[in-house]
């Protein structure tokens, strides 16, 4: 089968690589650097920066299989022991996150009233809504099952670390389907966690590579070779006699700046706006892809040299912390990069990565419009307040993602169902991407592997 993949982020690269491995003829179009948001940069001073996703969790079979298939298995870099320590900033202090549910009973994250309500969770009746209903928000679910305090301090803050968004605006079924399944299948979150452990599913740990997470898209791009073109998809149309014709524009095409690629299957794995532009003339429901909201994010990396002789005044032996909303600081959280993975900073140096922005009450989406100096000043000020930072950094780097992390609002699942119904009327057209089927790297890889598996099993239809 001839397959054209539009988009060279992790979704498109994975789909193209796996389709080629299955014996199909594949062309992948990407006008920018392969990898999309996944980019790792090492500067002359020896710091290694992640400008997008920092790591994946090592409990995702499709991701681990892809890493092995592309030859990166031996380069897998597990997190350092210090990364097991994590904190939430709430009520004016950094408070450790317990390693298991039982530790919450002795934690200072919750009041005694919050703890008493939490232990009632196994006795809370399960919901009666249908499994495809995504109307309940993450915060409403957490308040119903865990109590308002635990929902606000624990669940809503965890949402910040993944979506940089408001738990009161995100659909539980779309954003956290596993939690919804725990209640649906086991009647309780705690019962679901116990069942998961009994089934042998362990908690995932951060995983990266010596030269950063971008080693994965780089290896995929190298494996694709000249099947990856530096070109933009200008349009998709039905081909006379069946199949599809993709018009590509860019230096990576042959003969001229515009060329036509014929295929039995087209996988659109681009950003949501591009997917909407290309597909709406063929699939009317695709216009709603352009309406999926996103959370803007700014990454502020701070490098410190000579830390043994000029201490930072803060305990950096941890993965980092998240900040509960309405606590004062602008920071969403901070990752202690040099304590999470080896090789992120030169000997005697420390690298911190602050994340700002988000969308919703208590967030700061306008951060991406501010200067580097203002973003750095806000990050440093918050680190002084939260963690006791006592000196200025020797190095500052800032990156912005104006259309950062997709927000799966109530109704997202119904939108996807309508889109998939329309796609079935156009055999051979498919959609991937983090705005559609999973915001994290592992979710994108899983969706791409699933789609390619379907193509292998059933052909272009």
The string of DSSP codes covering 410-450 is TTHHHHHHHHHHHHHTSTTEEE-SHHHH-SSHHHHHHHHHH
Give the number of other Cβ atoms within 10 Å of residue 308's Cβ: 8
Give the number of other Cβ atoms within 10 Å of residue 339's Cβ: 24
Phi-psi map region of 299: left, alpha, beta (phi>0 left; psi -120 to 50 alpha):
beta
Domains, the chain? 2-37+60-73+211-291+409-458 (3.50.50.60), 110-198 (1.10.3110.10), 294-406 (3.90.660.20)
| Global confidence as pTM | 0.94
Q: Measured between alpha carbons, how far is 13 from 28 in angstroms, rounded to an integer?
A: 7
| pLDDT at residue number 127 | 80
| pLDDT at residue number 130 | 67
| CA proximity to 414, closest of 276, 266, 288 | 288
DSSP letter at 80 equals: P
Nearest 5°: the CA angle 201, 316, 203 is: 0
Task: Identify the helix (H) or strand (E) that includes residue 186.
Answer: helix 177-186
Q: Measured between alpha carbons, how far is 367 from 301 in angstroms, rounded to an integer?
A: 15
Strands (E), 105-218: 206-208
- Burial of 198 per CB tally in 10 Å (0-12, 13-18, 19+): exposed
DSSP letter at 230 equals: S
Question: Please, are residues 412 and 292 in contact by the beta-carbon 8 Å criterion?
Answer: yes
Q: At how many degrees (to 10) do helices 441-458 and 10-21 cross?
A: 30
Q: Measured between alpha carbons, how far is 415 from 288 in angstroms, rounded to an integer?
A: 7
Structure tokens at 292: 């999926």
| CA proximity to 8, closest of 406, 448, 461 | 448
Q: What is the pLDDT of residues 161-216, one digit of tens each?
A: 999 999 999 999 999 999 999 999 999 998 998 898 888 777 889 999 999 999 99
Q: Which residues pair with 56 in a beta bridge?
A: 207
Which residue stretches of the chain have pLDDT < 50? 253-255
Q: Measured between alpha carbons, how far is 445 from 447 in angstroms, rounded to an integer?
A: 5
Task: Identify the helix (H) or strand (E) that includes residue 305.
Answer: none
Q: Measured between alpha carbons, how far is 362 from 164 in angstroms, rounded to an integer?
A: 11
Q: What is the pLDDT of residues 354-365, one digit of tens each?
A: 999 999 999 999
């Amino acid at each position: 089968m001839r397959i054209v993949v539009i988009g060279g982020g992790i979704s498109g690269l994975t789909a193209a690589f796996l389709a080629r491995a299955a014996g199909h003829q594949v062309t992948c179009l990407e006008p920018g650097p392969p990898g999309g948001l996944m980019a790792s940069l090492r500067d002359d001073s020896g710091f290694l920066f992640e400008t997008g996703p920092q790591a994946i969790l090592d409990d995702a079979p499709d991701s681990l299989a892809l890493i092995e298939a592309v030859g990166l298995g031996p380069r897998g870099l597990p997190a350092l022991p210090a990364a097991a320590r994590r904190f939430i900033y709430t009520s004016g202090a950094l408070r450790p996150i317990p390693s298991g549910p039982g530790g919450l009973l002795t934690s200072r994250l919750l009041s005694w009233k919050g703890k008493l309500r939490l232990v009632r969770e196994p006795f809370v009746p399960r919901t009666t809504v249908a499994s495809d209903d995504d109307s309940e928000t993450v915060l409403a679910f957490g308040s119903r099952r865990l109590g308002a305090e635990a929902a606000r301090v624990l669940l809503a803050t965890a949402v910040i670390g993944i979506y940089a968004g408001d738990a009161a605006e995100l659909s539980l079924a779309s954003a956290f389907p596993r939690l919804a399944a725990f209640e649906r299948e086991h009647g309780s979150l705690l019962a679901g966690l116990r069942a998961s452990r009994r089934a042998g599913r362990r908690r995932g740990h951060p995983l990266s590579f010596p030269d950063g997470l971008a080693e994965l898209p780089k290896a995929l791009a190298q494996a694709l070779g000249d099947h990856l073109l530096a070109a933009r998809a200008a349009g998709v149309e039905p081909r006379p006699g069946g199949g599809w014709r993709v018009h590509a524009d860019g230096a990576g095409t042959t003969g001229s700046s515009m060329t036509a690629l014929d295929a039995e299957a087209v996988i659109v794995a681009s950003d949501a706006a591009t997917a909407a532009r290309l597909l709406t003339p063929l699939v009317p429901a695709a216009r709603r892809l352009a309406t999926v909201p996103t959370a803007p994010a700014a990454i502020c990396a701070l490098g410190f040299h000579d830390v043994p002789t000029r201490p930072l005044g803060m305990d950096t032996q941890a993965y980092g912390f998240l900040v509960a909303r309405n606590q004062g600081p602008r920071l969403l959280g901070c990752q202690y990069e040099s304590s999470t993975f080896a090789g992120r900073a030169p000997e005697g140096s420390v690298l911190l990565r602050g994340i700002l922005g988000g969308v919703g009450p208590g967030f700061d989406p306008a951060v991406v419009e501010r200067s580097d100096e203002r973003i750095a000043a806000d990050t440093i000020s918050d680190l002084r307040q939260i963690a006791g930072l006592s000196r200025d950094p020797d190095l500052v780097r800032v990156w912005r993602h104006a259309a950062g992390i997709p927000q799966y609002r109530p109704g997202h699942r119904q939108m996807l169902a309508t889109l998939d119904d329309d796609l079935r009327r156009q055999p051979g057209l498919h959609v991937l991407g983090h705005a559609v089927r999973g915001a994290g790297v592992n979710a994108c890889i899983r969706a791409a592997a699933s789609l390619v598996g379907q193509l292998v099993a059933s052909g272009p239809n």
